[in-house]
Amino acid sequence: MRLGIIGAMVEEITPLLEKFGEHKKIQVGGNTYYEITKGVHKIFIAYSKIGKVHAALTVSTMILHFQCEKIIFSGVAGGLNADLKVGDLLLAEKLCQHDVDITAFGHPLGFIPESKVYIEADKNLNALAKQVAKAQGIDLQQGIIASGDAFIADSEKKQWIISNFKADAVEMEGASVAVVCDLLQVPFCVLRSISDSADGSADVSFDEFLESSAKRSAEFVLKMCESLLEA
């Protein structure tokens, strides 16, 4: 198997690289990809840099250049659902782009012609994530993740995203990964650990909890990797 794992920031992949140990660095398109060999399997890890464009480029490179057969995105997100607290793990059932707006042409928010508002994550990878959570005694929550090229730290904008997309969490990359994987027919899942509440205190909370939340998400992805490579 050839597996791709992406984070948006260096903090989101550092725990993975530390765990896997020996790796080879490969430069493609201005980014570094870390290749790890596990028996007959290959794992490619990269932090895309923040935002939908960088994430789309990174996942496209993993699929088209490195021939990755499955993609896992691991990182942090702002909580929209009041039941989500800092450190909670959220598995995306589906993802949308909250900053896409061509309503002037009669389309719904988030819709792009020849596409759709919501992209569903792979059911098999999500089922595996649930199995890992159960085995580890982890409360893995599920929901809708909204992505956009803005860090949400405003209660009014937060409520707007909730109202229009019924989203449970917000971040800046997941939906673009979903779009690419959906078009190229590659199974994917997006796992996020909550780092802030996407409100007026989000910037402070994010800085304080980024590392611990990213590590929690990465540790969970490691368990998923173990299960995938043993299958």
Mean pLDDT confidence for 11-24: 88
Q: What is the pTM of this model?
A: 0.93
Q: Which own/partner pairs from 224-229 qualify as long-range (CB within 8 Å, at least 24 positions apart)?
A: 224/72, 224/125, 224/128, 224/129, 224/132, 225/3, 225/5, 225/43, 225/72, 227/128, 227/131, 227/132, 228/1, 228/3, 228/70, 228/128, 229/1, 229/3, 229/38, 229/39, 229/41
Q: Is the pLDDT of residue 119 over 90?
A: yes
Residue 227: band (very low, low, confident or very high) from pLDDT cuts 50, 70, 90:
confident
Please state, rounded to an integer, the average pLDDT across all residues of the chain.
91
pLDDT of residue 203: 54
Model pLDDT for residues 126-170, shown as the tens digit of each residue:
999 999 999 989 899 999 999 999 999 889 999 999 999 999 999
Give the active site residues. 12, 196
Q: Is the pLDDT of residue 222 over 90?
A: no
Q: Single out the residue of 195, 210, 209 nearest to residue 78, CA to CA.
A: 195
201-230 burial, b at 16+ Cβ within 10 Å, e below that, comes to ebeebbeebbbebbbbbbbbbbbbbeebee
Distance CA 175, CA 117 (A): 10
Q: Single out the residue of 101, 73, 102, 77 nearest to residue 88, CA to CA.
A: 77
Three-class SS of 148-177: CCCCCCCHHHHHHHHHHHCCCEEECCHHHH
CB-CB contact of 112 with 56 (8 Å): no
Looking up tokens 């929550």, which residue turns up? 141
pLDDT of residue 116: 95
Mean pLDDT confidence for 221-225: 88
Model pLDDT for residues 59-115, shown as the tens digit of each residue:
999 999 999 999 999 888 999 999 998 888 999 999 999 999 999 999 999 999 999
pLDDT of residue 86: 85
CB-CB contact of 46 with 167 (8 Å): no
Residues 6+ apart with CB under 8 A from 112: 97, 100, 102
Could you tell me what percent of the chain has a pLDDT over 90? Answer: 70
pLDDT of residue 19: 84
Count of beta carbons in the 10 Å neighbourhood of residue 103: 11
